[in-house]
Amino acid sequence: MHWILALSVLLGIAAPALAEQPRPVVVELFTSQGCSACPPADALLAELAARSDVLPLAFHVTYWNSLGWRDPFSLDLATDRQRVYQRLLGTETIYTPQMIVDGRTDVIGSDRRAVAYAIAAAMLDSTVPVGVTRSGRGVQIAVGAGKGDASVIVVGYDSVRRTSVQRGENAGRQLSESNIVRNFQKVADWTGQPLSLAIPLPMAERVAIILQASDGRILGAASLAKPNGVSE
């Protein structure tokens, strides 16, 4: 931990503690309010949000918007990220509801057994420690030592949103959705050496940090959900 303290003094920040418990498995759901097959996957993601060993994130894609209902949480970056996974994983197409577990396993988002199996398998993988704390209007990030290269990504997301859908395949339904991604940004490169940095607080209720290799694998992750700055 000496490297964090030393670098923090140089940067004038208090370094976050690196997690000593297993890091959460990152589960990314590609979904849309315009998709009638998506609510069961949204419900499963909400269940996963109650677990401390899983970091579930809902990416609302844009390609359903022209089919009767514009999803208010849809983002081009969500569609772009799904297409990156299509290339990395060699899937034939993009679809909803799709879950990507730890950046390496593609499963149908409503298939509980397949999702549970993929999460359990991901827990066996080695990880790089990641820590995150909040200080005022900023976020402080620490990444430990490890092997390889990766991107440090900051994700801003909202915990729960409810929407009355007026048109499209889910017309007339009241949808409740969890961990909705509102912004997503690479903030640094990690090359295997310990890293500490401070960034502005994203515009969202909650913050997550993902350490992702160029082949898509998630090497580490942490989330910050409490206003007092306690890392989860």
Which pLDDT value is given to residue 128? 95
Which pLDDT value is given to residue 206? 95
Which pLDDT value is given to residue 168? 96
Which pLDDT value is given to residue 22? 73
β-bridge mates for residue 30, sequence order? 59, 98
The amino acid at residue 231 is: S
Which pLDDT value is given to residue 137? 84
Which CATH superfamily groups domain 2-224? Glutaredoxin (3.40.30.10)
The continuous run of DSSP H or E covering 199 comes out as strand 195-200
pLDDT in tens, the chain (232 residues): 333 333 333 333 344 556 555 789 999 999 999 999 999 999 999 999 999 999 999 999 999 999 999 999 999 999 999 999 999 999 999 999 999 999 999 999 999 999 999 999 999 998 999 999 988 889 999 999 999 999 999 999 999 999 999 999 999 999 999 999 999 999 999 999 999 999 999 999 999 999 999 999 999 999 986 554 434 4
Which pLDDT value is given to residue 228? 42
Which pLDDT value is given to residue 65? 97
- The structure's pTM equals 0.89
From CA 73, how far away is CA 33, in angstroms rounded? Answer: 9
What is the torsional sign of CA 172, 77, 63, 85? negative
From CA 101, how far away is CA 119, in angstroms rounded? Answer: 7
Q: Read off φ and ψ for residue 51, nearest 5 degrees.
A: -95, 140
The dihedral region occupied by 39, where left means phi > 0, alpha psi between -120 and 50, and beta the remainder, is alpha
User: What's the 3-state SS for 34-97?
Assistant: CCCCCHHHHHHHHHHCCCCCEEEEEEECCCCCCCCCCCCCCCHHHHHHHHHHHHHHCCCCCCCC
Please name the residues in contact with 50: beta carbons below 8 A apart, sequence gap of 6 or more: none
Which pLDDT value is given to residue 2? 32
